[in-house]
Structure formats: structure tokens, C-alpha cells
């Protein structure tokens, strides 16, 4: 557990070898107690806050960024410690949180996960809606694209703008929950906010503002290119290599290897892909086979 800013902590930090989201905690220093931003699918890291002098029973609020299981899977466990805990999410994503799944999870990592639904206490309905806890105000920024109800929570601490963003790197192409056009508008909205500290759901903490802007722009280009490869031309070696290079710059080494492996199937003699793959392998990334599956399931050409 690490303090990011005054009374703002990362409880569950980014770990590329674990399928889960980051979890953040804010101490309101008031009767509103502790706030979690997302909860993830593994409860053990949240229990670690008691080693730092906090109490699980004092978690009175949980702000959910969007309706993907890895961001809210253990919310029901929080109720074991505080039955009155309040949950917050955008109205467009609440159905998945409030109901048990009627079919297997499409993500292979969640196939056998036993989810117990929780009731959303307050459904966010408007962009820029304000949530007040003690002296703190969280502005709810609606950022559809990854899901229809994706929300980023903006908190001003002193002179710093801190954004809890959920899943900016997440796939935002025009399949499943994704909508590329909405995602582009959402990311442009976030860039205009000039965020000082980005607390992302699947990445390390990013700061200062210049790096945050570069981070968002990087994933904006990434999703545009991914949309092009998956849905328009899966044999465009130039764009595939560009995706691999973008992934390397963003530190997403498992994706680098994945893109390079696919590119070498399309173009076995591509020396740039071979060289980049070996560089990425030195980071010992977990193995994924994602892009080829995306193309096989969605390319209609």
C-alpha cells in the first residue's frame, strides 16, 4: 500500500502477471470514512489495509468505474465488514453489477468465477455529476467507449487533479461493449482536463500532466489502429508492427510479443518483428494470445 497524495493510496497496485484491476483508497477524514475506487476480483490485497492502521469496516463507499467483472467482483465481500456500504456506478453499466451472469463470461480468465451481485446505491446519470464525501468532491466524468457506462472520477487534492480512470487501455473497438467513436470523444475530453495524476485500473500511476496526456494519446492511437487491424485489414503488416511498437513504448510487453507473433505468421521474414519480440521477451511478460483470436472472431472480410 502506497500513498499517492494526501490521504490517497493505491491498495492493489498494477501487476502485469495478475488478472485483476488496481484498487485505490481515499480517506475522507470524516464520518464518510474510507472510499474504495473499484474492488477487483481478489479480496486479499484489500485486507492488507488493516496492516496500515485502517479498518475494513470503515470502508463506507465504493466507486465502480465500469461494468467489467475485474473491477467489481469482490464488492459483496465488503458487505461482510460493513453491511451499509454504498456502491456507485453509471446507470448504463449497473445491470451487470446487480445481476448474476446468465451466460459464461467471455473472458477466459473469469470462466469459473462465482460472482455475488450487489445493489447500486446511487446510479450516476449525468456527466460531471458530483459525489460529496466529507470535504471531498468527486466529479463523475462519463467516458463511454470501453463500455457504455464507463466513468472516471476526478478529485482535486490541493493543487493536484487526480483521475481514477478504470480502463483507458481497455479495448474500445467496435465489437462487444466497445465503441471507437465514443472512446475518441471520451479521451479527448480527458486530455482537455490537464490531469496531474492518473490512477489507472490496469497500469502504474502516471504523472505529471505531460506524461498523463502522452499516456492517453498513446492509447487513443492504439485503439484506432487496433480497430483498423481487427475489423478492416488483418494483413496490414505496417499497422500491426505499429501496434507492437506502441505496446512496447507503453510497457505492455505481453502485447508486444502477441502482435509480433501474429505479424510473423502473416510475414515470416519480418526482421523488425523478430527483433522487437526478442526485446520484449527479456521483460518476461505473461503469455497471451489475444489479437489473433479477436481477428478470427470479428473480421468479416
3-state secondary structure 48-94: HHHHHCCCHHHEEEEECCCCCHHHCCCHHHHCCCCCCCEEEEEHHHH
Q: Is 187 exposed, middle or buried (0-12, 13-18, 19+ CB in 10 A)?
A: buried
Domain boundary pick from 224, 245, 280: 224
CA torsion sign, 227 to 256 to 147 to 127?
A: negative
Instruction: Retrieve residue 258's grid coordinates.
Output: 502477441
Whether residue 178 is found in the same domain as residue 33: yes
Give 82's contacts (C-beta < 8 A, 6+ positions apart). Answer: 56, 57, 58, 59, 60
Whether residue 54 is found in the same domain as residue 174: yes
Residue-wise pLDDT tens for the chain (301 aa)? 999 999 999 999 988 777 789 999 999 999 999 999 999 999 999 999 999 999 999 999 999 999 999 999 999 999 999 999 999 999 999 999 999 876 655 555 566 778 899 999 999 999 999 999 999 999 999 999 999 999 999 999 988 999 999 899 888 889 888 899 999 999 999 999 999 999 999 989 999 999 999 999 989 999 999 999 999 999 999 999 999 999 998 888 989 999 999 999 999 999 999 999 999 999 998 888 889 988 998 998 7
Whether residue 209 is found in the same domain as residue 263: no
The boundaries of the domain holding residue 267 are 233-298
Domain boundary pick from 159, 193, 224: 224
Closest CA to 259 of 280, 271, 243, 272: 243
What is the CB-side half-sphere exposure of residue 271 using CA atoms within 13 A? 0
Q: How many domains does the chain have?
A: 2
Whether residue 216 is found in the same domain as residue 241: no
Whether residue 113 is found in the same domain as residue 21: yes
Whether residue 132 is found in the same domain as residue 238: no
**209-227 vs 180-191: helix axis angle to the nearest 10?**
170
Domain boundary pick from 164, 189, 224: 224
Whether residue 124 is found in the same domain as residue 242: no
CB 93 within 8 A of CB 66: yes
User: pTM for the whole thing?
Assistant: 0.91
Closest CA to 1 of 45, 42, 36, 39: 45
Amino acid at each position: 500500500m502506497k500513498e499517492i497524495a494526501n490521504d490517497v493510496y493505491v491498495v492493489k497496485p498494477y501487476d502485469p502477471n495478475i488478472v485483476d484491476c488496481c484498487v485505490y483508497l481515499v480517506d475522507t477524514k470524516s464520518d464518510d470514512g474510507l472510499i474504495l475506487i473499484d474492488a477487483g476480483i481478489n479480496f486479499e490485497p484489500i485486507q492488507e489495509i488493516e496492516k496500515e492502521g485502517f479498518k475494513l469496516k470503515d470502508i463506507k463507499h465504493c466507486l465502480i468505474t465500469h461494468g467489467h467483472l475485474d473491477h467489481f467482483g469482490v464488492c459483496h465481500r465488503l458487505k461482510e465488514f460493513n453491511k451499509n456500504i454504498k456502491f456507485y456506478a453509471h446507470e448504463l453499466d449497473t445491470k451487470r453489477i446487480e445481476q448474476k451472469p446468465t451466460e459464461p463470461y467471455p473472458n477466459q480468465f473469469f470462466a469459473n468465477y462465482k460472482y455475488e451481485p450487489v445493489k447500486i446505491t446511487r446510479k450516476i446519470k449525468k456527466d460531471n455529476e458530483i459525489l460529496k464525501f466529507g470535504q471531498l468532491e468527486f466529479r463523475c466524468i462519463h467516458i463511454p467507449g470501453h463500455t457504455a457506462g464507463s466513468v472516471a472520477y476526478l478529485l482535486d487534492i490541493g493543487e493536484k487533479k487526480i483521475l481514477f480512470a478504470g480502463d483507458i487501455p481497455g479495448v474500445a473497438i467496435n465489437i462487444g461493449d466497445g465503441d471507437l467513436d465514443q472512446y475518441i470523444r471520451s479521451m479527448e475530453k480527458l486530455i482537455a482536463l490537464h490531469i496531474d495524476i492518473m490512477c489507472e485500473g490496469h497500469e502504474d500511476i502516471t504523472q505529471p500532466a505531460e506524461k498523463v496526456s502522452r499516456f492517453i494519446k498513446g492509447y487513443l492511437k492504439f485503439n484506432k489502429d487496433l480497430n483498423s487491424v481487427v475489423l478492416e485489414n488483418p494483413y496490414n503488416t505496417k499497422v500491426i508492427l505499429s501496434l507492437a511498437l506502441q505496446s512496447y513504448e507503453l510497457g505492455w510487453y505481453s502485447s508486444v510479443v502477441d502482435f509480433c507473433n501474429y505479424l510473423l505468421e502473416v510475414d515470416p521474414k519480418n526482421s523488425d518483428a523478430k527483433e522487437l519480440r526478442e526485446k520484449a521477451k527479456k521483460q518476461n511478460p505473461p503469455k497471451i494470445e489475444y489479437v489473433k483470436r479477436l481477428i478470427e472472431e470479428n473480421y468479416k472480410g
